[in-house]
Amino acid sequence: MKVVELFAGVGGFRLGLEAADDDFETVWANQWEPSKKAQHAYDCYKNNFNKGVINNKDIAEAWREVPDHDLLVGGFPCQDYSVARTLSGERGIQGKKGVLFWQIMNIVEFRKPSYILLENVDRLLKSPSKQRGRDFSVMLASLRDEGYFVEWRVINAADYGFAQKRRRVFIFAYHESTLFAQHIKKEEFMNILHNKGFFINQFPVENEHNPRHPDQTLTLPDDLVEISDNISFSYKNSGVMIGNEVYTAELVPRIEPPITLGEILKRADNLQGEVDEKYYLRKDNVNKKGRSDFEEMAYQKGPKKEKRVSRTGHEYYYTEGGMAFPENLNAPSRTMLTSEGTKNRSSHVVKDLNTGRVRFLTPLECELLNGFPPDWTNGVMPEKSRYFCMGNALVVGLIERMGREIIRLRREEKQVGYVRQMALF
C-alpha cells in the first residue's frame, strides 16, 4: 500500500504504519521547517528512513511532485481556513495564503488517494472562537467536493492504554469509489459510530453518549463561501459526513488501563542508566528573583493569587491553580509540550527512581512517552530540538492501531476485486 506522508516531523505516522503491517510503503514524504536554516526534523527523518523520496521543500512548491499513492497522511497546523470568492470569479474559490490545508487539498484533487488520515489539535473542531465550527465545516466540505466521506474522532491516548494524556482529533476520509464507502453509505449514522465505522474496532466506546452534549445533525450547503461566511456549529468529539449530511456525537471511550509515568521511567532507567546531573533541579543555582532552580519550579507549579499591574497601570489579580510537584508516577503523564525540559510551568518534573532527587524528563523518556524507539532523535539535533520535536509529535501506537484498520479495508477491497475479476471467466 503506497503512502505519502506530509508535515512528517520525525516520522511518527510512518513508524506507526510500518509497525502495523509490512505492506505499508512510504513512497514520498515531505518535511520542511519554514524560515529555518537548520532542518533538524528532516535530518532525523532522513537518518532513520532510507526508502522512498524524502522531500525538504516548501509543500506549496513541491505538491506537484507527489506520486500516485493509496493513503495520504499528515499532521497539519490548525490555521484560519476561511475562504472567499475571487474578484474575477474565474478561479472560483480561494483560501487564505499560507494555509497548509489547501496544499493537502491540491494533492487530493491531483492524485485522489483512496484513503486520507489526518491529525490535528482537538480545538480545530471549535475554531474560530467567534464562529465555532466554521473551519472544520470548510474542511469537511472541501473533502466532500472531491468525492470523500469522512469520519472523525477525538482520542486521548491515555484512554486507550498509552502513557500520555494527549488529546488529538483524527480525521479519516475515504473516497466514495471505495468498497468501504459503498458499505458505509447504507448504514445509519449511529450504527457507523458504534459498529461499522473506521475507529470503533481499535477504539471502542460505551453504548451511551455523553448526556450533557446531545447528538446533532447538519446539512452542509453546497457553496463553500456560504459555509465560510455563515456556518456556526457545535461539533462533538466524534462524527460522520456522507455527502452533505453530517452527524456528530459525544462518545464516551471504553477506558483501557494506561501505562504509568513511573513505568516509563523504569523502562528508561534500563536503557540510559544513571541520569546526567544537568537534568536535576539544583538548590544552589539562584536566579535574579532569588529563587533556586527547585524553588523556581515549585513556584511555577504552585497555586497563585498575585496582584499585578498592566501596562496601562490597571491593577488586577492573577490567579492560577496548582499542579503536582513532582509528577504523579502512578498515572499517565500530562500532555508534553514543545517547552519540555525548561523552567516552565508545563514541563514535567519527576522524582528520580534511583536518587530520589527531583529532575526534568530526559529526551529519551520523552521519546518513550510518545512511543518512539529510544534515542530516535539523538545525534542529529541539539537537545532543545529533541524536546521540541517530541512536544510536536503524536503517539505512535495510535497510528499503529489505525494502520491495522486501513490494511484490513485495503485487503477486503482487493479480495472483492479479485472475486469479481474471477467471475468474469
CB-based contacts of 281, cutoff 8 Å, min separation 6 = 292, 293, 294, 297, 349, 357, 358, 359, 360
Q: Which of 343, 365, 342, 338 is nearest to 352 (CA)?
A: 365
Angle of CA points 308, 314, 316, to nearest 5°: 40
**Residues 229/231/236/237 CA torsion (nearest 10 deg):** -30
Which residues are catalytically annotated?
Answer: 78
